[in-house]
Amino acid sequence: MIAAEKLSLTYEKDNTRVEALADITFNLRKGSSLSVIGPSGCGKSSLLFVIAGLIKPTAGKIAIDGRVPDRTNPDTALILQDYGLFPWKTVYENASLGLRVRGYNKRAQRDIVMPILEKLGLAEFARHFPTQLSGGQKQRVAIARSLALSPKLLLMDEPLSSLDALTRENLQKFILDIWFRHSLTLVLVTHNIEEAVFLGSHILVMSERPGRVIDIIENPLVGTPGFRQSSGYHQLCSRLRGLLGVVN
């Protein structure tokens, strides 16, 4: 689904140059989930923007399903770090925004959005505004908006970083469930080691800026019952700590 070959990205503005990504190569199969982890400022969001077609790489090649990524591709959805909800729109209006932009009529919007809100436990909040919601609920609205468009590729930038540990673990389970049920391909940026291991069938470990690939680890046990309590999970977390240079 994603083929990235020797991707590099340098931001240039006026006389300043920031080398953000260097020589990133990886392939991701359809139906996989890729956790991208690395230190702050190493280029994780930049990589996600390149995959979404919002930024062109300075060098190298990237293809999504064989094509150059295009920001207007309806098969790709991107959820930003701050959820991107409009405060003056209700939960329902926020969730149906993408469909409205694409010209779906009111009836069609309703038929698609209401079951999704229902499934995400948000139906009773349909008329609420984002300020009336908790962080976890806001995150679910952002997810609902993306799912309404039935994407094949879902890109998430630190979706859970502002949440408390309990909400975070519940939403991690929830994301795993969505990934299985909708047979999505998922790319999730995080700087949380446990989250990367819990959610990624593959884990891309990045170096300090300019972000390079330190390792791509396969995680075949992802999603199996009791994974978070298993020794395989804890071993993988330790391995990541080692790769990222975290002192135990």
The contact set with ligand ATP (CB under 6 A) reads: 11, 13, 18, 20, 40-46, 191, 209
CA dihedral 120, 124, 127, 129 (to 10 degrees): -60
Q: Kindly state the smallest distance separating residue 121's Cβ from Mg ion, in Å.
A: 28
Q: Closest CB to Mg ion among 156 and 243?
A: 156
Would you say 91 or 156 has its CB closer to ligand ATP? 156
Helix axes 135-148, 91-101, angle to 10 degrees: 20
Residue nearer to ligand ATP on the CB measure, 43 or 151 = 43
Which C-beta is closer to Mg ion: that of 112 or that of 206?
A: 206
- How far from 86 is each of 95, 101, 137, 183, 193, CA to CA, in Å? 10, 14, 14, 28, 31
147, interface contact from ligand ATP, Mg ion, none, CB < 5-8 Å by kind:
none
Residue 51 Cβ, how far from ligand ATP at the closest point, in Å?
12
Q: Nearest approach, Cβ of 194 to Mg ion (angstroms)? A: 18
CB of 24 to ligand ATP, least distance (A): 12
Q: Which does 40 bind (CB under 5 to 8 A by kind): Mg ion, ligand ATP, none?
A: ligand ATP
Structural tokens at position 52: 């979404």
Token pair for residue 216? Answer: 């791509």
Longest dimension (CA), the chain: 55
In the complex with ligand ATP, which residue's Cβ is closer, 83 or 104?
83
List the Cα angle 150/95/34 in 5-degree steps: 45
Cβ neighbours for 180, distance < 8 A, ≥ 6 positions apart: 223
For the bound state, the minimum distance from the C-beta of residue 232 to ligand ATP, rounded and expressed in Å, comes to 27
